[in-house]
């Protein structure tokens, strides 16, 4: 099973790129963030044309998450379990069962600046995610929590830690909050495949040519439970999908990433994609 995640930074603006990437990379499941679409405007038909069922959760202004699956999609749930969706719900979490795996697409708040109101809201959101796992999930069952976590787990996940030291995405409380999810029973699937390599990034600022200068961060993660981490065999950050800033359809500032698992024989994908 190939599970992918991609902050698309507006599905309306990137739909052709997303559909092309699906045809090339052939993920079994794609978790998307920052779709920026209301539920009634989600383009279900193009995904169906490629064999994907979709679930989505968006309010049409900001944020928004979605899951596309070609191995079945059931039991979808927007937001945290047991909570009624408020009118100002930020549309940052969506879960569904795909091919026997409980999959969550998450878009963690950015946090803006350390010490700001938004920063503490980010820490509270991560704690709520942890509590949701504790109350409703088991680390002994197949589970993949995928998305834009807006946290670089380690210093090697940043192009130059001295340039961002003291800022968001790398502060100790943010990393501690992420560590709480790992302590519960999740594993960084990409790091399980590449345990020793640094300078592997998923996000680059649009400004100052950061992508071409390799000044990025690894903040998009696929966190999986024990049954899946032992089956992780291959992973890829698709830098090709991040190229083309001067083209007619500029890319997202994030690259898609996928991990292959020897799980689900009928849906298994082996070897690297042609991307």
Q: Which single residue is written with the structure tokens 């749930």?
A: 77
Residue 270 has a pLDDT of 39
User: What is the greatest pairwise CA distance in the chain?
Assistant: 48
pLDDT at 245: 80
Q: What is the DSSP letter of 82?
A: T
Q: Give the closest residue to 3 by CA, choosing from 136, 76, 102, 78.
A: 102
Who's near 130: CB < 8 A, 6+ residues apart? Answer: 177, 180, 181, 184
Query: Which pTM value belongs to this model?
Result: 0.93
Amino acid 21: pLDDT = 98
* Radius of gyration of the CA atoms of the chain, in A: 17
pLDDT tens for the chain, 275 residues: list them: 999 999 999 999 999 999 999 999 999 999 999 999 999 999 999 999 999 999 999 999 889 999 999 999 999 999 997 666 554 478 999 999 999 999 999 999 999 999 999 999 999 999 999 999 999 999 999 999 999 999 999 999 999 998 887 789 999 999 999 999 999 999 999 999 999 998 999 999 998 899 999 999 999 999 999 999 999 999 999 999 999 887 778 899 999 999 999 997 444 443 334 33
Fold of the domain spanning 2-267: Deoxyribonuclease I; Chain A (3.60.10)
pLDDT at 85: 59
Please give the pLDDT value at position 83. Answer: 66
DSSP code at position 154: S
CA atoms within 13 A on the CB side of 223: 25
Q: For the chain, what are the domain ranges?
A: 2-267
**150/142 Cα distance (integer angstroms):** 24
CA distances from residue 152 to 34, 93, 160, 173, 262 in whole angstroms, order as listed: 18, 19, 12, 12, 27
DSSP character for 99?
T
């Amino acid at each position: 099973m190939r599970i992918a995640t991609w902050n698309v930074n507006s599905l309306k603006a990137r739909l052709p790129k997303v559909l092309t990437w699906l045809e090339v990379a052939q993920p079994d499941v794609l978790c998307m963030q920052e779709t920026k679409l209301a539920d009634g405007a989600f383009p279900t038909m193009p995904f169906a044309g490629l064999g994907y069922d979709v679930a989505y959760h968006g309010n049409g202004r900001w944020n928004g998450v979605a899951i596309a699956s070609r191995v079945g999609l059931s039991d979808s749930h927007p937001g945290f379990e047991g909570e009624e969706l408020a009118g100002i719900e930020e549309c940052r979490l969506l879960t569904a069962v795909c091919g026997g795996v409980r999959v969550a697409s998450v878009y963690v708040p950015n946090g803006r600046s350390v010490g700001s109101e938004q920063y503490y809201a980010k820490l509270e959101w991560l704690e709520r995610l942890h509590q949701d796992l504790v109350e409703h999930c088991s680390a002994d069952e197949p589970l993949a929590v995928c998305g834009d976590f807006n946290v670089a787990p380690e210093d090697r996940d940043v192009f130059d830690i001295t340039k961002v030291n003291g800022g968001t995405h790398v502060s100790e409380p943010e990393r501690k909050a992420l560590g709480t999810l790992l302590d519960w029973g999740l594993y960084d699937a990409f790091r399980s495949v590449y345990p020793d390599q640094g300078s592997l990034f998923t996000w680059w600022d649009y400004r100052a040519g950061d992508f071409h200068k390799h000044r990025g961060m690894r903040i998009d993660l696929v966190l999986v439970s024990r049954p899946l981490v032992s089956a992780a065999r291959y992973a890829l950050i698709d830098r090709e999908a991040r190229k083309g800033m001067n083209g007619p359809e500029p890319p997202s500032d994030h690259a898609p990433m996928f991990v292959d698992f020897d799980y689900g024989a009928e849906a298994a994908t082996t070897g690297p994609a042609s991307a």
